[in-house]
């Protein structure tokens, strides 16, 4: 009786296992179209590039207060204060500064709608600036953290690239700008972290773009609101941008590749 029951269970198990393994997909990965030669691709005239324009994006604003640094200190206020300091320093050095917001609330032009991250990227891309700095602040770590996109660099800008990977052609430039800012801040004896991160909307920017995060001077997070600390960091960044305006080199633009029919993946019910 018991034996019969057991063998029946074993049979059922065997059948179930067989069914499961039969469902495992066995289709091989479809290999994406091979990299095409770009020799025959016509280059487009370079897009406008304003060497003396810098875009500053004081992150957050309005109902998005960003990181809560303490009960009375909000990230959105620090990013705006740092942006104002940078703007006056850069303006004094002959730069045109475009800001995504210059008051607490970040709204779309002439409407009360809050500014989305994509809207901010749009403002940046239309300005064709020599540098885009997305300003953040945090209570974690110390000094200044500078991040570039995690996208793999591509040599040329292909007209009609995806919104989410538009930065890829500019990553090499962003990396050079990151090094330059790093050197300037090191000279200013500010502790530094240089790395890569996925923070929207950096991947959609068509300019040398960096996320600049201001962290406390030491372990005391109230130093974030310290005027002289902010001024010190802004001064080092502004000095680096003066060097940068002559080094920046926009990538070559290529006409779009002839569209190849992509194999349809998966079953679309």
Partner 1 sequence: MISRHQRIVFWCLVGCILAMGTLLFVERQRARDRIVALADATPLDAPYSTTESVTLDLANDSDGSITATTRPIALPGEVTARARALLEHLLAEYALPGSPHPLQSGAAVDDVFLLPLPLVGHSGGTTAATSTLIASNDPNALQPQNPGGELAVINLRSSFVNAHPSGVEVESLTLMSIIGTLHTNLPQIEQIRFLVDGQPRETLAGHADLLRTYPSKDTTARAETSVAP
Q: Which residues bind partner 1 (CB under 8 A)?
A: 24-25, 27, 29-30, 32, 60, 64, 66-68, 75, 136-143, 145, 147, 162, 164-165, 182, 186, 189-200, 211, 213, 215, 217-218, 262, 265-269
How far is it, in rounded angstroms, from Cα 225 to Cα 221?
A: 8
145 near Zn ion (CB under 5 A): no
Residue 210, φ and ψ in degrees, nearest 5: -140, 150
In the structure encoding, which two tokens stand for residue 120, read together? 């901010």
Cα–Cα distance measured from residue 203 to residue 148, given in angstroms and rounded to the nearest whole number: 9
CB 75 within 8 A of CB 69: yes
Q: Give the residue among 97, 104, 165, 162 at the shortest CA–CA distance from 131.
A: 97
What is the rounded CA–CA span in Å between residue 224 and residue 143? 10
Residue of minimal Cβ distance to Zn ion: 136
- The maximal CA–CA distance of the chain, rounded, in angstroms, is 94
From the list partner 1, Zn ion, none, pick the one residue 87 interacts with, judged by a Cβ distance below 5 to 8 Å according to partner type. Answer: none
- The nearer residue to partner 1, 51 or 179, going by C-beta atoms, is 179
- The stretch near Zn ion (CB under 5 A) out of 51-59, 123-131, 246-254, 258-266 is 51-59
- Cα 179 to Cα 84: distance, rounded to the nearest angstrom: 23
Are 157 and 169 spatial neighbours (Cβ–Cβ below 8 Å)?
yes
- The number of angstroms, rounded, from the C-alpha of 182 to the middle of its chain's C-alpha atoms is 17
Q: To the nearest whole angstrom, how small is the minimum distance from the Cβ of residue 102 to Zn ion? A: 17
Tell which one of 58, 66, 143, 216 touches Zn ion (CB under 5 A): 66
Q: Which is nearer to partner 1, 122 or 182 (CB)?
A: 182
Instruction: Choose from partner 1, Zn ion, none: what does 186 bind? Cβ within 5-8 Å by kind.
Output: partner 1
- Say if CB 104 and CB 80 are below 8 A apart: yes
Name which of Zn ion, partner 1, none residue 111 binds, using a CB cut-off of 5 to 8 Å depending on partner kind: none
Element (H, E) at 145: strand 144-148
Question: Least Å distance between CB 87 and Zn ion?
Answer: 19
Q: Looking at beta carbons only, is 60 or 85 nearer to partner 1?
A: 60
Taking CB under 5 A as the rule, does residue 101 contact Zn ion?
A: no
Residue selected from 54, 55, 56, 59 as contacting Zn ion according to rule CB under 5 A: 59
Q: Which of 76, 136, 145, 217 binds Zn ion (CB under 5 A)?
A: 136
């Amino acid at each position: 009786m018991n034996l019969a029951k057991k063998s029946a269970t074993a049979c059922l198990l065997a059948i179930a296992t067989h069914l499961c393994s039969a469902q495992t997909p066995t289709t091989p990965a479809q290999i994406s179209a091979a990299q095409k030669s770009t020799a025959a691709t016509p280059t487009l005239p370079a897009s406008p590039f304003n060497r003396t324009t810098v875009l500053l994006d004081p992150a957050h604003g309005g109902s998005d207060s960003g990181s809560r640094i303490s009960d009375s200190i909000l990230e959105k206020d620090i990013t705006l204060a740092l942006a104002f300091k940078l703007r006056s320093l850069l303006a004094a050095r002959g730069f045109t500064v475009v800001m995504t917001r210059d008051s607490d609330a970040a709204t779309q032009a002439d409407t009360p709608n809050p500014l989305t991250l994509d809207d901010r990227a749009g403002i940046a891309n239309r300005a064709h600036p020599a540098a885009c700095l997305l300003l953040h602040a945090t209570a974690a770590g110390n000094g200044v953290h500078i991040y570039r996109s995690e996208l793999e660099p591509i040599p040329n800008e292909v007209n009609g690239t995806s919104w989410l990977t538009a930065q890829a052609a500019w990553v090499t430039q962003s990396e050079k700008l990151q090094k330059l800012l790093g050197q300037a801040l090191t000279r200013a004896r500010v502790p530094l972290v240089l790395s890569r991160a996925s923070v929207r909307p950096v991947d959609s920017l068509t300019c040398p773009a960096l996320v600049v995060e201001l962290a406390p001077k030491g372990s005391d997070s109230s130093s974030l609101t310290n005027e002289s600390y902010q001024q010190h960091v802004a001064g080092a960044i502004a000095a680096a941008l003066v060097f940068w305006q002559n080094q920046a080199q926009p990538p070559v633009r290529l006409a779009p590749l002839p569209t190849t029919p992509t194999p349809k993946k998966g079953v679309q019910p």
